[in-house]
Structure 1
Amino acid sequence: MKHICEQQLDEETLFVVSQTFKALSDPTRIRILNYLCGTERSVNDIAEALNLGQSTVSHQLRFLKNLRLVKFRREGTTMYYAHDDEHVIDLLHQAIDHAMHE
């Protein structure tokens, strides 16, 4: 089996990888994903904890949901969100560790 660095990447893989990095290039989305790494949260919880507007949080969650980086469940009228890909959370935390490395 070829090492991943030796593999030719198909167009779909390239697109998904670039979209993942695009998602992680926005500070608000980074904050939201990092906040969701522990447990699921409602839009209101996220907005309050991160001092963001509810519409901003909803917009960013829609973006992340479309990339399948977050998942949701509905309980009555409340939507609860959680991260949907441990690989992306690991990548995010590696980037945070790198940024904080002295």
Structure 2
Amino acid sequence: MHLNNDHLISLAETFKLLGDPTRLAILVACLEQEKTVGQIVSDTGASQSLVSHHLRLLRGARLIQPRRDGRHIYYHAHDQHIRCTLQDMIEHIQEEER
């Protein structure tokens, strides 16, 4: 596999974003089903302002995608690539516990 320098920079920035435990927790919370900000706050224990800040960063990196339904906005993992990558890494980490 060959990646040009721009792709490597983009990939490194994505991993840097996921290096923050709160951002990672937000993304994991949105893997299986759509969540509102309030549900993400409840799942992660982070403040609403912190969750909103991290959601903006995750949206900018195309890791989280919003869906508006009336007054509510629901967030979910952007696509199957994100879901598969994180689920594979979660399984990898959990293998050590077995």
TM-score bin (small chain): 0.7 to 0.9
Q: Which residue of the other structure, out of 18, 24, 48, is the alignment partner of 2:42?
A: 48
Say whether residues 1:66 and 2:72 are aligned partners.
no
RMSD: 1.4
Question: Can you give the 5+ residue segments of structure 1 that lack an aligned partner in the other structure?
Answer: none
Say whether residues 1:86 and 2:58 are aligned partners.
no
Structure 1 residue 98, shift from structure 2 partner? 2.1
Say whether residues 1:32 and 2:26 are aligned partners.
yes
Question: Can you give the 5+ residue segments of structure 2 that lack an aligned partner in the other structure?
Answer: none
Equivalent position of 2:69 in the other structure: 75
Say whether residues 1:11 and 2:21 are aligned partners.
no
Structure 2: distance between partners of 1:85 and 1:28: 20
* Larger gyration radius, structure 1 or structure 2: 1
Structure 1 residue 87, shift from structure 2 partner? 1.5
TM-score by length of 2: 0.86
SS for the counterpart of 1:40 is coil
Structure 2: distance between partners of 1:17 and 1:56: 24
Structure 2: distance between partners of 1:52 and 1:81: 16
Equivalent position of 2:93 in the other structure: 99
The percentage of counterpart residues that share the same residue type is 38
TM-score by length of 1: 0.83
